[in-house]
């Protein structure tokens, strides 16, 4: 069952009914001002940091699910009938409804009783504001008298405090009204130098800024008193809950359309120029007024929208493909790349599953996300890498997360996850391969954000590498620490107290439990570091890295092979985890994928056996589950993984993030059919037809799909902000389609399904456009490459000579 369709040409997903199984959302903004918006206009906005600068209020996990948003009410002033063109919050019957989620914008429109209304929501580039471009049309044969009401509820800035500190917050709300513009200025009187504003292009008949006056006694957003009676109360908020609502009255002749622009913005004033007059408490509006005036003009708004379109065309144009599979094309060309940008902007902070107050930018997550966006925004990737490096600890270890506003690491979700440091090496490797910008290695970065501790980025990578060598366990494998990639495999935690955080509790000294996954990760990272060293004037260091990689590989083979697959870990008692000897959790996906990615076992058949075990024991029609058999009870010595009911999350859910590791491993083993088959099982577009089962958006990946042990097998959760986005993008573009940035040029090494006749791609890389055609002439992966008509050896295309901007690449597979 479907709830809409892909409009591939316009790069939109069109939702044709409001009752999607869950709110299906989109993101607004791509620089500093952001919002999330559902298909029924739910969501909220913030400036830079979803916790510390929340502009509008949203209540998570509510009933109904999605309450609080960017609402508009349309009222027929003759009959008193009122409704919302986004269906919520009035939930009125509609004659038509469509939500178009596009690249950085969402348009929601509907019609009722001969009146059609629609709103295009977007954030212009380089501005800290959002536009609601609203249009209403009278399709009746008679004139229509219509009232339009806007509504947002302001958040008192710190979203955490806003949701808890009511003894203070009910007394501090303040607003100002001037020329029909509503200014929200809570705490501006004291230490804040920022305020929000909400403006309207039409002449207003009234306004409201106090929520409970606008809504009326004991009412919700579905039937505000002001809308019902057809007249605002002109309320001014003092304390309680400040909102912004305009009332506009229109008379529309038959067939006529009128546009109203609502603009919600964020603005900062210099601390010494906050007030006007200076000794007053009135907001100084000198610098905000021109901004407001500009965006109340339709031509300026249309221009800003055009620039936003161009921006996305530019980003997505960097890699475009045409394959025999529409789901591959759609995800690669549009939605997967778009989702990668969302993970760049949001990390794991704000979605409909991430409340914006829990997690900031993760060290591990942000480095992996780079794989998906570095080709689109290399300069910002560079900045991100240096920011991350500056939070690294002198030991080489890492805080698990940092706050986007302060860029400082914090211990809120722990540290000593012993895999963390290696992702920095892999992130930097991805950046170097894409850009060839070796200068980044010399860039100084602090440790733990301490002034004076600056060292070149290369030195940070060395400390990442050394971190593991300083922490080897009884078998010579890396100690796991708090956990590795699998945050829930807590082998030193032993938590028996309700409410204790699995992420910060440690009851064991951590000198025994080891991770085979980190072993594989270390081998891969050490090999990359060796290649980086050889390319950057540190060739003398390379043999050490290579020797350490070889030694770890040997250790993994000796102590990390279980007979038919790679073991997962050794626990605190030296017990095996992820072994045939275990009653539950006999085989885990992570080491099978990652050890092969590191090249372990590709020569001697171990990799094949591990991947065959994955196919036999872990693969389901909905994707590959994380482990089997699921843990049926809580195990003190395993931690959070066994806290989840079987089939969910890390306890044998389909954790989509690591499915691509197996896709890549299959591609490395030369098996394009298996790689693409796994790709298709979790590709959201390929699952569109079972949207009633999948339930999350069919245009973006979700973190998890319930595994075969769950009663809801096939149901997705936690869409949008997940490493799944970057890893799938990387797996399909670089390993299956095989268009892979390498240190010395662009590598072309496709491992595609046997039935594919070939594909075409356009890839911009280091300032050159590569037009690539791959043709299949035989069933295998043996490739012959011609560049500009001349056959070349190998599969890496060096930069073209003579400053040529375009290169034609032809590959034949046999």
Contacts with ligand BGC by CB under 6 A lie at: 359, 413, 487-488, 503, 640, 649-650
Query: DSSP string spanning 312-359?
Result: HHHHHTTEEEE-S-HHHHHIIIIIHHHHHHHHHHHTTSBSSSSBSSS-
**Closest CB 359 distance from ligand BGC, rounded Å:** 6
Nearer to ligand BGC, 359 or 713 (CB): 359
Write out the binding residues for ligand NOJ, residues 649-708 only, by CB under 6 A: 650
Nearer to ligand NOJ, 149 or 631 (CB): 631
**Closest CB 402 distance from ligand BGC, rounded Å:** 14
Q: Which does 503 bind (CB under 5 to 8 A by kind): ligand NOJ, ligand BGC, none?
A: ligand BGC
Nearer to ligand BGC, 487 or 553 (CB): 487
Alpha-carbon distance of 790 to 814, in angstroms, equals 18
Q: How many CB atoms lie within 10 A of CB 583?
A: 8
Which stretch, 301-309, 468-476, 480-488, 748-756, contacts ligand NOJ (CB under 6 A)?
480-488
- Does 488 interact with ligand NOJ (rule: CB under 6 A)? yes
**Closest CB 10 distance from ligand BGC, rounded Å:** 34
Q: Tell me which long-range contacts 545-552 makes (C-beta under 8 A, separation of at least 24).
A: 545/465, 548/465, 548/469, 548/522, 549/522, 549/523, 551/476, 552/476, 552/477, 552/478, 552/519, 552/522, 552/523, 552/526
Interface characters, 619-658, with ligand NOJ (x: CB under 6 A): -------------------------------x--------
- Does 362 interact with ligand NOJ (rule: CB under 6 A)? yes
Nearer to ligand NOJ, 221 or 485 (CB): 485
Q: How many residues bind ligand NOJ (CB under 6 A)?
A: 9
Longest distance between any two alpha carbons in the chain, whole Å: 85
Which stretch, 248-256, 486-494, 552-560, 763-771, contacts ligand NOJ (CB under 6 A)?
486-494
Length of the chain: 814
**Closest CB 485 distance from ligand BGC, rounded Å:** 9
- Does 365 interact with ligand NOJ (rule: CB under 6 A)? yes
3-state secondary structure 104-120: CEEEEEEEECCEEEEEE
Which stretch, 12-20, 35-43, 245-253, 481-489, contacts ligand NOJ (CB under 6 A)?
481-489
Q: Which does 207 bind (CB under 5 to 8 A by kind): ligand NOJ, ligand BGC, none?
A: none
Please state the separation of Cα 675 from the chain's center in Å: 24
Write out the binding residues for ligand NOJ, residues 250-289 only, by CB under 6 A: none
Nearer to ligand BGC, 153 or 650 (CB): 650
Nearer to ligand NOJ, 198 or 588 (CB): 588
**Closest CB 126 distance from ligand NOJ, rounded Å:** 30
C-alpha closest to that of 701 among 675, 681, 724, 726: 724
Nearer to ligand BGC, 355 or 468 (CB): 355
Nearer to ligand BGC, 488 or 610 (CB): 488
Helix-strand-coil percent breakdown of the chain, rounded to 5?
A: 30, 30, 40
Alpha-carbon distance of 12 to 10, in angstroms, equals 5
Q: Which residue has the tokens 């200076």?
A: 278
Q: Are 435 and 497 in contact (CB under 8 A)?
A: no
Q: Which does 420 bind (CB under 5 to 8 A by kind): ligand NOJ, ligand BGC, none?
A: none
User: Would the CA dihedral through 362, 367, 369, 373 be positive or negative?
Assistant: positive
**Closest CB 170 distance from ligand BGC, rounded Å:** 32
Q: Which does 201 bind (CB under 5 to 8 A by kind): ligand BGC, ligand NOJ, none?
A: none
Q: Which of 194, 364, 568, 687 binds ligand NOJ (CB under 6 A)?
A: 364
Instruction: Specify the 3-state DSSP secondary structure of 382.
Output: helix
**Closest CB 401 distance from ligand BGC, rounded Å:** 9
**Closest CB 626 distance from ligand NOJ, rounded Å:** 9
Q: Which of 487, 541, 666, 795 binds ligand NOJ (CB under 6 A)?
A: 487
457 membership: H or E segment, kind and range: helix 457-469
**Closest CB 488 distance from ligand NOJ, rounded Å:** 5
Q: Which of 54, 100, 112, 348 binds ligand NOJ (CB under 6 A)?
A: 348
Nearer to ligand NOJ, 45 or 367 (CB): 367
**Closest CB 704 distance from ligand BGC, rounded Å:** 8
- Does 520 interact with ligand NOJ (rule: CB under 6 A)? no
Q: Are 661 and 603 in contact (CB under 8 A)?
A: no
- Does 90 interact with ligand NOJ (rule: CB under 6 A)? no
**Closest CB 318 distance from ligand NOJ, rounded Å:** 26
Tell me 715's DSSP state: -
**Closest CB 363 distance from ligand NOJ, rounded Å:** 9
Q: Which does 485 bind (CB under 5 to 8 A by kind): ligand NOJ, ligand BGC, none?
A: ligand NOJ
Which residue's CB atom is positioned nearest to ligand BGC? 487
Which stretch, 56-64, 190-198, 485-493, 763-771, contacts ligand NOJ (CB under 6 A)?
485-493
- Calculate the alpha carbon distances from 622 to 207, 326, 528, 656, 723 in Å: 51, 19, 33, 10, 18
Q: Which does 413 bind (CB under 5 to 8 A by kind): ligand BGC, ligand NOJ, none?
A: ligand BGC
Q: Which does 362 bind (CB under 5 to 8 A by kind): ligand BGC, ligand NOJ, none?
A: ligand NOJ
Residues facing 110 on adjacent strands: 97, 117
Q: Which does 486 bind (CB under 5 to 8 A by kind): ligand NOJ, ligand BGC, none?
A: ligand NOJ
Nearer to ligand NOJ, 295 or 727 (CB): 727
Nearer to ligand BGC, 487 or 709 (CB): 487
Q: Which does 682 bind (CB under 5 to 8 A by kind): ligand NOJ, ligand BGC, none?
A: none
Nearer to ligand BGC, 486 or 613 (CB): 486
Residues with Cβ within 8 Å of 82's Cβ and at least 6 positions away in sequence, in order, are 73, 74, 75, 76, 90, 92, 147, 227, 228
- Pairing outcome for strands 627-628 and 4-7: unpaired
Which stretch, 229-237, 301-309, 483-491, 743-751, contacts ligand NOJ (CB under 6 A)?
483-491
522 is written with which tokens? 């270390």
Q: Within 13 Å of residue 173, how many CA atoms lie on the same side as its CB?
A: 22
632 is written with which tokens? 């049926």
Q: Are 520 and 668 in contact (CB under 8 A)?
A: no
Which stretch, 310-318, 357-365, 401-409, 576-584, contacts ligand NOJ (CB under 6 A)?
357-365
What is the C-alpha end-to-end distance of the chain, expressed in Å? 39
- Does 100 interact with ligand NOJ (rule: CB under 6 A)? no
570 membership: H or E segment, kind and range: strand 569-570
Alpha-carbon distance of 577 to 590, in angstroms, equals 12
- Calculate the alpha carbon distances from 384 to 347, 406, 434, 443, 766 in Å: 11, 13, 15, 13, 19
**Closest CB 362 distance from ligand NOJ, rounded Å:** 5
Interaxial angle between packed helices 378-391 and 420-435, expressed in degrees from 0 to 180 and rounded to the nearest 10: 150
Q: Which residue has the tokens 């693409």?
A: 676
| Active site members | 487
Judge if the upstream peptide bond of residue 629 is cis by omega within 30 degrees of 0: yes
Q: Within 13 Å of residue 305, how many CA atoms lie on the same side as its CB?
A: 17
Q: Which residue has the tokens 């056996």?
A: 609
Q: Which of 486, 683, 685, 781 binds ligand NOJ (CB under 6 A)?
A: 486
76 membership: H or E segment, kind and range: strand 71-76
List of residues contacting ligand NOJ (CB under 6 A): 348, 362, 364-365, 485-488, 650
């Amino acid at each position: 069952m479907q709830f809409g369709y892909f409009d591939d040409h316009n790069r939109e997903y069109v939702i044709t009914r409001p009752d999607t199984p869950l709110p299906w959302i989109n993101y607004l903004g791509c620089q500093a001002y952001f919002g999330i918006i559902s298909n029924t206009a739910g969501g909220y906005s913030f400036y830079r940091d979803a916790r510390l600068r929340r502009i509008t209020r949203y209540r998570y996990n509510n009933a109904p699910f999605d309450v609080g948003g960017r609402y508009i009410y349309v009222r027929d002033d003759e009959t008193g009938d009122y409704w919302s063109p986004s269906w919520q919050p009035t939930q009125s019957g509609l004659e038509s409804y469509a939500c178009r989620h596009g690249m950085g914008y969402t348009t929601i429109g509907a019609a009722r009783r001969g009146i059609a209304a629609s709103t295009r929501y977007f954030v212009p580039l380089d501005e800290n504001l959002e536009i609601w471009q609203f249009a209403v049309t009278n399709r009746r044969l008679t004139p229509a008298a219509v009232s339009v009401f806007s509504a947002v509820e302001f958040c008192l800035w710190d979203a955490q405090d806003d949701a808890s500190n009511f003894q203070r917050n009910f007394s501090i709300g303040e607003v100002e009204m001037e020329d029909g513009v509503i200014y929200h200025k809570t705490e501006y009187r004291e230490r804040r130098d920022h305020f929000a504003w909400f403006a309207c292009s039409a002449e207003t008949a009234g306004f409201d800024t106090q929520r409970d006056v606008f809504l009326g006694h004991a009412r919700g957003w579905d039937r505000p008193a002001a809308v019902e009676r057809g007249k605002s109360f002109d309320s001014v908020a003092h304390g309680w809950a400040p909102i912004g609502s305009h009332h506009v009255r229109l008379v529309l002749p038959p067939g006529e359309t009128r546009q109203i622009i609502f603009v919600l913005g964020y603005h900062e004033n210099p601390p010494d120029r906050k007030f006007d007059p200076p000794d007053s408490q009135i907001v100084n509006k000198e610098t905000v007024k021109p901004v407001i005036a500009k965006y109340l003009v339709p031509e300026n708004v249309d221009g800003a929208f055009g620039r936003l379109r161009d921006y996305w065309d530019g980003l997505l144009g960097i890699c475009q493909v045409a394959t025999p599979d529409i789901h591959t094309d759609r995800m690669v060309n549009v939605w997967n790349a778009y989702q990668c940008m969302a993970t760049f902007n949001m990390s794991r902070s704000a979605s409909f599953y991430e409340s914006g107050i829990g997690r900031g930018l993760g060290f591990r997550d942000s480095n992996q996300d780079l794989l998906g966006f570095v080709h689109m925004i290399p300069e910002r990737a560079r900045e991100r890498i240096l920011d991350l490096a500056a939070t690294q600890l002198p030991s080489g270890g890492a805080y698990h997360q940092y706050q986007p506003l302060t860029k400082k690491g914090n211990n809120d979700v722990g540290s000593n996850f012993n895999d963390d440091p290696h992702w920095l090496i892999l992130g930097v490797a991805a950046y170097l391969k894409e850009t060839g910008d070796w200068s980044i290695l010399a860039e100084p970065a602090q440790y733990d954000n301490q002034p004076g501790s600056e060292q070149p980025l290369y030195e940070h990578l060395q400390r990442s590498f050394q971190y593991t060598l300083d922490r080897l366990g009884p078998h010579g494998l890396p100690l796991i620490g708090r956990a590795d990639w699998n945050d829930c495999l807590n082998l030193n935690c032993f938590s028996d107290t309700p409410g204790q955080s699995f992420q910060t509790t440690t009851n064991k000294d951590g000198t025994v439990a080891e991770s085979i996954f980190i072993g594989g990760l270390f081998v891969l990272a050490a090999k990359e570091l060796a290649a980086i060293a050889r390319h950057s004037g540190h060739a003398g260091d390379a043999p050490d890295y290579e020797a350490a990689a070889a030694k770890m590989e040997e250790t993994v083979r000796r102590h990390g092979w279980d007979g038919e697959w790679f073991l997962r870990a050794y626990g605190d008692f030296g017990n095996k985890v992820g072994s045939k000897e275990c009653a539950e959790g006999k085989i885990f996906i992570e080491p099978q994928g990652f050890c092969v990615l590191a090249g372990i076992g590709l020569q001697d058949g171990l990799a094949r056996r591990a991947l065959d075990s994955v196919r036999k024991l872990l693969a389901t029609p909905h994707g590959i589950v994380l482990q089997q058999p699921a843990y049926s009870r809580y195990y003190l010595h395993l931690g959070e993984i066994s806290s989840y009911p079987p089939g969910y999350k890390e306890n044998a859910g389909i954790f989509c993030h690591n499915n691509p590791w197996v896709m890549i491993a299959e591609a490395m083993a030369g098996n394009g059919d298996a790689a693409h088959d796994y790709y298709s099982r979790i590709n959201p577009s390929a699952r569109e037809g079972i949207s009633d089962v999948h339930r999350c958006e069919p245009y973006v990946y979700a973190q998890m799909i319930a595994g075969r042990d769950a009663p809801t097998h096939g149901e997705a959760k936690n869409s949008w902000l997940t490493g799944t986005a970057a890893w799938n993008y990387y797996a399909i573009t670089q390993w299956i389609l095989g268009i892979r940035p390498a240190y010395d040029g662009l590598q072309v090494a496709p491992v595609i399904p046997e039935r594919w006749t070939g594909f075409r791609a356009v890839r911009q890389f280091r300032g050159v456009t590569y037009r690539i055609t791959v043709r299949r002439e035989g069933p295998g992966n043996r490739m012959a490459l011609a560049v500009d008509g001349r056959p070349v050896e190998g599969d890496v295309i060096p930069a073209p000579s003579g400053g040529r901007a375009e290169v034609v690449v032809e590959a034949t597979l046999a």
